C-alpha cells in the first residue's frame, strides 16, 4: 500500500484537524448526507493540485477555508497533507516517505510543499504524474461523475484514457520540448540576424587588416633595406671624412708655415730703411690679394650653403610630386590650415553679401571641389617650397656673378703681382730678397688655397650627405622603429663583414638606387596610412572572435533544434504506440467487466480520426488552455468512441442505455482502465448509489478484485460495499457544522464481538 494517511485542517467543514490512516486495501467512509463525506474526496483533489474551483465546489480560494459557525471563529488558512510510503520508490524522489501539502489563504494565495520544502505546482504535478496520479481523472470518481467518461466528447474521452494509461508524462515532455524548440528557433533567428549585421563590418576590417599585414611585410622589407643602406652610408661618411682630413692635413700645415714665413718677410720689408715705392707696392698688392681671396672664399662658402638648401628643397618637391600621384594621400595639418584659409574669406563674403547668396555658395563649393579634386591642398605646400627655391636660385645667380667678379679681380691682381715680381727678379740686389720671398710665398699660398678650396667643396658635400643621413635616420625610426639603430650589425649575404674598403670601392650610383627603392616603399606606406593599425587589428580580432562564438552558438542551437525535433517525433510515436496498446488492453478488461455486470453482451473502445481546426494546448496558472491556430486550419484529431451491445436486447450505442445501464457501463470501463495500469489508489465517491442489491453484489466483487492492484477509498451508503472494507471511517457533523471523523477496524471489532 502506497497511501498512508490524509490530514485535513481548516478545509471546508473540517474546522479542526482530522487525520485518516489508510492501512487496509479497502477503506470505507460512511455517514449521513451533508456530514462532509465528499469533502474528503475534494481534499484529495485539492492536495493533488486541482485548479478548477468548480470541481472543488467553490468560486474562489476563500470558499475552501472554514468560515466559522456559532462560537467558533473562522480559520485563516486551509491545508491538506497526504503521506505516501515511498519505500519502493514509486515516486521518483529519494525519500522513504513523501509528504505533499497544499495550503490556501484568505487572499487566495496557494502554497505547495514536498517534505516541508516549498515548491511550485508544476513540481507537484510532475512528481505525481510519474506515478499515474492526478488531481482528477480515472482514479478519483465523485458522486454523479461515474458516467462522465461516457458523456464526454471523443477527444476528452481520449484524454482521460491517456491519463489512465500514464501517458500524461509524455504529453508534458512533448509540450515542454515544443516550447524549447520554439525558443531555440527564435534564438537561431537572433544569432543569424546578429551575424548578418556584423558581416559587412568584418569584411571591411578584413580588407583593412590585409592592408596592415601588407604594410607590415613592406616595413620588414624596408627594415632590411634600411639596415644595409645605413650600414654602407655610415661607413662611407666615416671613411670619406678620414680621407678628406688626410688630404686637408698637409695643405693646412703648409699654409700655416707659409703664413708664418710671409709674416717674417713682411716684417723685414716694413723694417727696411731702404724701403722704396716697389716695396710699398708689393705690400699693397699682398693686402689687396688677401682681401680679394677672403672675399672670394666667403662668396664660395655662401654659394655652397645656398646650393645645399636648393638641393633639400628639390628633394621636398620631388617627394610631394610622388605623393600627389598616389591613389590615397595623407593630409597634413598644414594642408588643413590652407583649406581653412582658402574657404574662410568666401564664408565671410557670404555673411556680408546675402543678396548674392546663390552665386557665392556655388563659387565656394566649386572652390572646395577643385581644392580637394585637383590636390590644391598639397599644391599649396609645393608652391611655397618652389617660391622659396626660386628666391634662392636668384640669390645663387647673384653670388655666381659676384664670385666671377672676385675671381676676375684676383686674376688682375695676380697679373700685376707677376709683373712687379718680374721687375724685382731683374734686380739682383740683395735688398730685394724679402720682396722675392713675399712673391714666392704668395704664389705658393695661392696654389695651396686653390687646393684647399677644392677640398672645401668636397667637405661641404660631405656635410650635406651627413645631414641627409641624419634626416633619413629620423624618418626610418618613424617607419620601422628603434630597430633601425641595429644597422651596425649588418653583414653581407655570404656572412662576410662589410668593410670600408668594400663601401669606398663601390659606385655611389648603387647607393643612390638603394635610396630610391627605399623612397618608393616609404611613399607606398604613407599611401596606406602610415600607422601600425593596432586598434584595427584589435577590433578585427574581437569582432572575428565574436562571429566565431556566434557561429559555434548557431551550430549548437541548430543541433539542439534537431535533437528536440527528433525527441518530439520519438515522443509522438511512443505516445501513439502506447496509446494503441493500452486501448487494446482496456478493451480486453472492458469486455470481461461488461460481461460480469450484464451477464453477457459486448463492449469495446475504438480510435476515431477526423479533420479539425488545429488546436494548441498551453499550460497556465488555471491549468491547460486550448486555442485554435490561425495559420494551420486543419489537422487530424483522434478520439475514442464506446460501442456496447446488451444481451437479450437490441440495444446498441450509448444513447439507448438507461440510467442504471449507463452507470454499470461506466463502472465497467473505469475498472477496466484501472486494471491496465493500476494507480496507487482509487477514490470512489458513491459510485454505487444507483445500483440495486444484485448489482451491488457484483460491484462489490469487482471492488474486492480491484483492491488487489490498487488501494481503494470508498465513500458509500451501500451496506454490501461497506462489508468489503477493512477500515470504516464514520463522518458526523454536530450543530456547529464541524465535521468529525470516527474510525472502526472490522478485524478488531469482530475480535471484540467474539
> Does the structure show a pLDDT above 60 at 512?
yes
Strands 711-715 and 26-30 turn out to be parallel
Alpha-carbon distance values, 614 to 626, 628, 631, 632, 633 (Å): 10, 6, 9, 6, 6
Mean pLDDT score of the chain, rounded to an integer? 80
User: 78 falls in which pLDDT band (50, 70, 90)?
Assistant: very high
pLDDT score recorded for residue 2: 87
pLDDT in tens, 86-143: 999 989 999 999 999 999 999 989 999 999 999 999 899 889 887 878 655 567 877 6
Please state which of the ranges 122-126, 290-294, 339-343 shows the lowest mean pLDDT. 339-343
* 708, pLDDT greater than 70: yes
pLDDT for residue 492 is more than 80: no
Sign for the CA dihedral angle at 135, 139, 141, 142 comes to negative
Residue 545 has a pLDDT of 92
State the pLDDT confidence band at 424, using cuts at 50, 70 and 90. Answer: low
Q: How confident is the model at residue 273 (pLDDT cuts 50, 70, 90)?
A: very low
What does the pLDDT read at residue 374? 47
pLDDT digits (tens, 9 = 90+) for 534-554: 788 888 899 999 999 999 999
Phi first, then psi: what are they for 419, rounded to 5°?
-65, -45
Which stretch of DSSP H or E encloses residue 315? helix 277-324
The C-alpha atoms of residue 218 and residue 529 are separated, in whole angstroms, by: 13
Selection from 639, 638, 613, 608 nearest residue 628 by Cα: 613
Q: Which of 31-45, 372-386, 682-696 has the highest mean pLDDT?
A: 31-45
Structural domain 1-139+681-754, CATH architecture: 3-Layer(aba) Sandwich (3.40)
Q: What pLDDT does residue 660 have?
A: 76
- What pLDDT is recorded for position 363? 60
The answer for residues whose C-beta is within 8 angstroms of residue 640's C-beta and 6 or more apart is 154, 157, 158, 161, 583, 605, 606, 607, 608
Overall size of the chain counted in residues: 754
What are the beta bridge partners of residue 141?
684
Q: What is the pLDDT of residue 111?
A: 96
Please say whether the beta carbons of 722 and 28 come within 8 A. yes
Q: What is the pLDDT of residue 754?
A: 44
Q: What is the C-alpha separation between 488 and 498, in angstroms, rounded?
A: 9
Spatial distance between the Cα atoms of 211 and 228, rounded to a whole number of angstroms: 26
Instruction: Tell me the CA distances in angstroms from 745 to 179, 386, 403, 722, 751, one per residue in order.
Output: 51, 125, 145, 12, 10
Largest CA distance in the chain: 189
| Cα–Cα dist 731/37, whole Å | 6
For residues 447-453, give the mean pLDDT.
79
Residues 453/455/456/459 CA torsion (nearest 10 deg): 170
Q: Select the highest-mean-pLDDT range: 197-206, 381-390, 445-454, 607-616.
A: 197-206
Is the confidence at residue 30, as pLDDT, over 80? Answer: yes
Q: What is the pLDDT of residues 624-660, one digit of tens each?
A: 555 555 555 567 788 889 888 888 777 667 777 877 7
User: How is residue 691 written as a grid cell?
Assistant: 445500483
Please tell me the predicted confidence (pLDDT) of residue 463: 83
* Cα 731 from Cα 32, distance rounded (Å): 8
719 pLDDT above the threshold of 80: yes
Q: Provide the pLDDT confidence category of residue 747 given band limits of 50, 70 and 90.
A: low
Give me the mean pLDDT over the 653-681 stretch: 82
Task: Tell me the Cα Rg of the chain.
Answer: 59
User: In this structure, are residues 140 and 44 in contact, taking their beta carbons and an 8 Å threshold?
Assistant: yes
Question: Distance between CA 12 and CA 368 in Å, rounded?
Answer: 91
Return the pLDDT at 407. Answer: 78
Domains in the chain: boundaries? 1-139+681-754
For residues 348-369, average pLDDT: 57
| pLDDT of 56 above 60 | yes
Give pLDDT tens digits for 141-172. Answer: 776 666 777 888 888 888 888 877 878 778 88
Is residue 310 within 8 A of residue 389, CB to CB? The reply is yes
pLDDT, residue 19, reads: 93
Q: Are 53 and 34 in contact (CB under 8 A)?
A: no
Amino acid at each position: 500500500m502506497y497511501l498512508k494517511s490524509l490530514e485535513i485542517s481548516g478545509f471546508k467543514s473540517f474546522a479542526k484537524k482530522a487525520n485518516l490512516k489508510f492501512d487496509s486495501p479497502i477503506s470505507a467512509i460512511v455517514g449521513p448526507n451533508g456530514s462532509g463525506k465528499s469533502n474528503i474526496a475534494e481534499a484529495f483533489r485539492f492536495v493533488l493540485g486541482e485548479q478548477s474551483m468548480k470541481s472543488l465546489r467553490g468560486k474562489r480560494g476563500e470558499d475552501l477555508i472554514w468560515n466559522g459557525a456559532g462560537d467558533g471563529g473562522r480559520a485563516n488558512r486551509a491545508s491538506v497533507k497526504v503521506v505516501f510510503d515511498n519505500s519502493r520508490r514509486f515516486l521518483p524522489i529519494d525519500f522513504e516517505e513523501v509528504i505533499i501539502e497544499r495550503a490556501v489563504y484568505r487572499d487566495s494565495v496557494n502554497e505547495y510543499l514536498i517534505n516541508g520544502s516549498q515548491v511550485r505546482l508544476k513540481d507537484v504535478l510532475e512528481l505525481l504524474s510519474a506515478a499515474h496520479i492526478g488531481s482528477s481523472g480515472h482514479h478519483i470518481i465523485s458522486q454523479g461523475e461515474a458516467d462522465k467518461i461516457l458523456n464526454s466528447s471523443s477527444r476528452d474521452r481520449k484524454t482521460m484514457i491517456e491519463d489512465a494509461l500514464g501517458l500524461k508524462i509524455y504529453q508534458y515532455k512533448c509540450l515542454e520540448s515544443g516550447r524549447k524548440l520554439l525558443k531555440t528557433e527564435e534564438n537561431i533567428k537572433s544569432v543569424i540576424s546578429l551575424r548578418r549585421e556584423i558581416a559587412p563590418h568584418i569584411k571591411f576590417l578584413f580588407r583593412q587588416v590585409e592592408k596592415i599585414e601588407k604594410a607590415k611585410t613592406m616595413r620588414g622589407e624596408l627594415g632590411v633595406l634600411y639596415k644595409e643602406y645605413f650600414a654602407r652610408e655610415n661607413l662611407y661618411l666615416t671613411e670619406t671624412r678620414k680621407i678628406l682630413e688626410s688630404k686637408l692635413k698637409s695643405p693646412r700645415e703648409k699654409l700655416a708655415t707659409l703664413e708664418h714665413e710671409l709674416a717674417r718677410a713682411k716684417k723685414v720689408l716694413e723694417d727696411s730703411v731702404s724701403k722704396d715705392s716697389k716695396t710699398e707696392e708689393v705690400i699693397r698688392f699682398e693686402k689687396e690679394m688677401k682681401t680679394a681671396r677672403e672675399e672670394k672664399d666667403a662668396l664660395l662658402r655662401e654659394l655652397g650653403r645656398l646650393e645645399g638648401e636648393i638641393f633639400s628643397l628639390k628633394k621636398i618637391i620631388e617627394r610631394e610630386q610622388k605623393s600627389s600621384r598616389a591613389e590615397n594621400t595623407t593630409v597634413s595639418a598644414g594642408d588643413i590650415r590652407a583649406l581653412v584659409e582658402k574657404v574662410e574669406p568666401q564664408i565671410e563674403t557670404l555673411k556680408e553679401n546675402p543678396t548674392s547668396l546663390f552665386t557665392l555658395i556655388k563659387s565656394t563649393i566649386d572652390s572646395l571641389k577643385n581644392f580637394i579634386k585637383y590636390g590644391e591642398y598639397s599644391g599649396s605646400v609645393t608652391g611655397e617650397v618652389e617660391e622659396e627655391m626660386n628666391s634662392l636660385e636668384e640669390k645663387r645667380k647673384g653670388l655666381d656673378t659676384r664670385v666671377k667678379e672676385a675671381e676676375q679681380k684676383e686674376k688682375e691682381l695676380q697679373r700685376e703681382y707677376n709683373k712687379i715680381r718680374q721687375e724685382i727678379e731683374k734686380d739682383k740686389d740683395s735688398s730685394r730678397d724679402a720682396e722675392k720671398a713675399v712673391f714666392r710665398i704668395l704664389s705658393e699660398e695661392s696654389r695651396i688655397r686653390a687646393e684647399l678650396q677644392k677640398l672645401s667643396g668636397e667637405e661641404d658635400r660631405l656635410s650635406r650627405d651627413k645631414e641627409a643621413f641624419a634626416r633619413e635616420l629620423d624618418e626610418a625610426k618613424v617607419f620601422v622603429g628603434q630597430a633601425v639603430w641595429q644597422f651596425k650589425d649588418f653583414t653581407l649575404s655570404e656572412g662576410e663583414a662589410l668593410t670600408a674598403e668594400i663601401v669606398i670601392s663601390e659606385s655611389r650610383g648603387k647607393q643612390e638606387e638603394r635610396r630610391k627603392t627605399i623612397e618608393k616603399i616609404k611613399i607606398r606606406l604613407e599611401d596606406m596610412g602610415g600607422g601600425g593599425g593596432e586598434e584595427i587589428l584589435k577590433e578585427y580580432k574581437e569582432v572575428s572572435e565574436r562571429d566565431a562564438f556566434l557561429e559555434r552558438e548557431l551550430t549548437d542551437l541548430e543541433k539542439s533544434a534537431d535533437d528536440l525535433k527528433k525527441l518530439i517525433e520519438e515522443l509522438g510515436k511512443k505516445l501513439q504506440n502506447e496509446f494503441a496498446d493500452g486501448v487494446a488492453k482496456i478493451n480486453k478488461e472492458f469486455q470481461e467487466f461488461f460481461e460480469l455486470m450484464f451477464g453477457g453482451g459486448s463492449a469495446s473502445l475504438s480510435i476515431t480520426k477526423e479533420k479539425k481546426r488545429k488546436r494548441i494546448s498551453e499550460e497556465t496558472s488555471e491549468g491547460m488552455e486550448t486555442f485554435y491556430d490561425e495559420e494551420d486550419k486543419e489537422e487530424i484529431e483522434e478520439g475514442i468512441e464506446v460501442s456496447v451491445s446488451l444481451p437479450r436486447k437490441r440495444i446498441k450505442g450509448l444513447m439507448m442505455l438507461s440510467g442504471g445501464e449507463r452507470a454499470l457501463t461506466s463502472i465497467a470501463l473505469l475498472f477496466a482502465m484501472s486494471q491496465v495500469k493500476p494507480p496507487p489508489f482509487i477514490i470512489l465517491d458513491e459510485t454505487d448509489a444507483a445500483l440495486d442489491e444484485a448489482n451491488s453484489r457484483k460491484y462489490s466483487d469487482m471492488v474486492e478484485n480491484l483492491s488487489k492492484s490498487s488501494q481503494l477509498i470508498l465513500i458509500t451508503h451501500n451496506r454490501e460495499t461497506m462489508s468489503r472494507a477493512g477500515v470504516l471511517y464514520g463522518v458526523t457533523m454536530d450543530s456547529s457544522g464541524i465535521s468529525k471523523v470516527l474510525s472502526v477496524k472490522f478485524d478488531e471489532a469482530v475480535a471484540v464481538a467474539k
